[in-house]
Amino acid sequence: MSSQMDHRLSSEHEELRRTVEEFAHDVVAPKIGDLYERHEFPYEIVREMGRMGLFGLPFPEEYGGMGGDYLALGIALEELARVDSSVAITLEAGVSLGAMPVFRFGTEEQKRQWLPKLCAGEALGAFGLTEPGAGSDAGGTRTTAVRDGDEWVINGSKCFITNSGTDITALVTVTAVTGRKPDGKPLISSIIVPSGTPGFTVAAPYSKVGWNASDTRELSFSDVRVPAANLLGEEGRGYAQFLRILDEGRVAISALATGLAQGCVDESLKYAAERHAFGKPIGDNQAVQFKIADMEMRAHMARIGWHDAASRLVNGEPFKKEAAIAKLYSSTVAVDNAREATQIHGGYGFMNEYPVARMWRDSKILEIGEGTSEVQRMLIARELGMNA
């Protein structure tokens, strides 16, 4: 059997999985419910994740990373999301959206300046792409950056930006229109804006349905000046860069969604054994057994999907279609499993003290963030040669 088809973990990856599983149960689970209810960012947990090297997993050791790969990152995300998605999305966005653009497209100087802190989890990076009027259509970007001598002057706003306003946020990479092509279409470039730059304002946190212990904010830029050297990659290549970053990010989000789907199985199994009705555990009822069997099947297939996309990415093969399939399927089953887990828990599933209530609230955004389910279907159709 080729490695492409064998989705069992190597001994190193299995060791990582067990370590993160233990951390999620021993450290995250006891604290996160309270932080979630109070809408508080889990600084202490993030610090510990940094010490474990989780923020540096897919980066080379020369920049302070662990020398791992995207499969390793996905494994960590899946195990965290089995317990809590706020913590998992903080890691996912910190790595895939915060640090990865600097690693993929940055100059040597930019990498040495930012990556060691980001890999250590001492600082977080954010990814400023979405705008109030440009979400799925990122080509509709209205934020502008005009060259003025040795500086860029940025004006505009971004919304729904994860990790953008924490006490340890160090930078936001912003997409902005820096000119026009001959046909009038915008030239979109990526520019690093350090936190605290004058004119860069971070709004109060959003009031969200879920992911309540993660940081999500609106950003505004009013004549924000940064050095010309803060351009990330080539001018006019920002849109192409972020399409690549989003393809990779979909693999990571798919791992996270799979973790949530599996967490719903874990919690339902536990509850079905403890909860008695009509003189026996509810898990003795075939109706409950079949629900949980279907949930396990969905989580298993989602895992195979993201592992396949990750192995293609790691091997340098085309993976755009597989990433879209993994993202579409895993986010759908996360919502399905969360709904069924809530049903199995009955009235207790509606109480915030039970993890499944959190999972139900956290699942829906997975069908929206980092590319909606509709966009994934467009991508799959396009990869099949259809005009979508």
Rounded to an integer, what distance in angstroms lies between the CA atom of residue 96 and that of residue 250? 9
Q: In this structure, are residues 236 and 310 in contact, taking their beta carbons and an 8 Å threshold?
A: no
Q: Which fold has domain 126-236?
A: Butyryl-CoA Dehydrogenase, subunit A; domain 2 (2.40.110)
DSSP E strands, 239-281:
276-277, 280-281
Nearest to 221 by CA among 239, 241, 197, 237: 197
Rounded to an integer, what distance in angstroms lies between the CA atom of residue 361 and that of residue 356? 9
- Of 48, 61, 370, 374, the catalytic one is 370
Query: Taking the domains of the chain in order of start, what are their residue ranges?
Result: 11-123, 126-236, 240-383
Q: In this structure, are residues 311 and 9 in contact, taking their beta carbons and an 8 Å threshold?
A: no
Query: Residue 168: CB partners within 8 Å, gap ≥ 6?
Result: 43, 46, 122, 123, 124
DSSP H or E segment with residue 109: helix 108-119
Q: And the tokens for 221? A: 């830029």
How many angstroms separate the Cα of 341 from the Cα of each of 263, 266, 346, 364? 9, 9, 9, 14
Q: Which residue do the tokens 């969360």 mark?
A: 338
Q: What top-level class would CATH report for the domain 11-123?
A: mainly alpha
Rounded to an integer, what distance in angstroms lies between the CA atom of residue 115 and that of residue 98? 10
For residue 128, list its beta bridge partners.
174
For residue 232, list its beta bridge partners.
190
Query: Residue 15: CB partners within 8 Å, gap ≥ 6?
Result: none
Q: Which residue do the tokens 């605290």 mark?
A: 196
Instruction: Provide the 3-class DSSP secondary structure of residue 205.
Output: coil
Opening angle at CA 57, ends 51 and 58, nearest 5:
155
DSSP H or E segment with residue 255: helix 238-274
Rounded to an integer, what distance in angstroms lies between the CA atom of residue 73 and that of residue 88? 10
For residue 175, list its beta bridge partners.
190
Q: Which residue do the tokens 């860029």 mark?
A: 152
Instruction: Provide the 3-class DSSP secondary structure of residue 207.
Output: coil
Output the pLDDT for position 2.
Answer: 41
267 is a catalytic site residue: no
The arrangement of secondary structure in 240-383, i.e. its CATH architecture, is Up-down Bundle (1.20)
pLDDT digits (tens, 9 = 90+) for 101-129: 999 999 999 999 999 999 999 999 999 99
Q: State the DSSP code for 120.
A: T
Q: Which segments in the chain show pLDDT lower than 70?
A: 1-6, 135-136, 138, 388
Q: Is 223 left (phi over 0), alpha (psi -120 to 50) or beta?
A: left
Q: And the tokens for 195? A: 């936190």
Q: And the tokens for 140? A: 């509709």
Output the pLDDT for position 6.
Answer: 64
Query: Can you give the length of the chain in residues?
Result: 388
Q: Which residue do the tokens 């399939």 mark?
A: 325
